[in-house]
Amino acid sequence: MIILEGIDGSGKTTLALELKKHGFKMHHFGYDDSSKSIEQKYLDVLKQNTDRMVMDRCFISELVYGPVLRGNCRLDKTQTINLLEQYKKVGTSIIYLKADKDDILSRRTEDKKDSEMLSKFYEELNDKYDTAMWIASKFLDVEEINTSNLSKKETIKRLERYVDVGFDFCR
């Protein structure tokens, strides 16, 4: 199982859709304020066949966006460690996508509200993600890819190192 993480506009959905073309099941987590336990929501995914699954976001987004945008995280330390341990059991790897502020903002011009949020909180979100990925790396393989430095094709090529499929870049 592969988790794609990073701030909005870093390329998660683009890469998840590419993996979907190559037989991966795609699961996208958006913000959910339902009364269901947030920890359980992320554990429920593990009840599925996680072989060849790509997740566009996961609980790590809550660790980052919760404190920055809402002032609190809905997961405590014990829940976070439990999630990391459970995801480790199924052989999860994280691809941490980063991009420069100007690139992020240019990719999000269609969504004015999102663009304004990213402009205001870019540095804080990146700092929180760096910390969250450092913690996650104690449990899971984490690979960082800066999508500002690579074309879509080059980014996919880097991703190929972590996926047991060959991509046809000539199509």
Which bin fits 143, alpha (ψ -120 to 50), beta or left (φ > 0)? beta
Structural domains of the chain, with CATH: 2-160 (3.40.50.300)
Q: Give the count of alpha carbons within 13 A of 169, CB side only.
A: 11
Q: What is the pTM of this model?
A: 0.88
Q: What is the pLDDT of residues 28-81, one digit of tens each?
A: 876 665 656 889 989 999 998 888 899 999 999 999 999 999 999 999 999 999
* Sheet of 93-98, strand order: 25-28, 53-56, 2-5, 93-98, 141-146
Distance separating alpha carbons of residues 98 and 165, to the nearest angstrom: 23
Residue with tokens 């430095």: 149
pLDDT on residue 38: 87
- Residue 169 DSSP class: T
> Within its chain, how far is the Cα of 48 from the centroid?
19
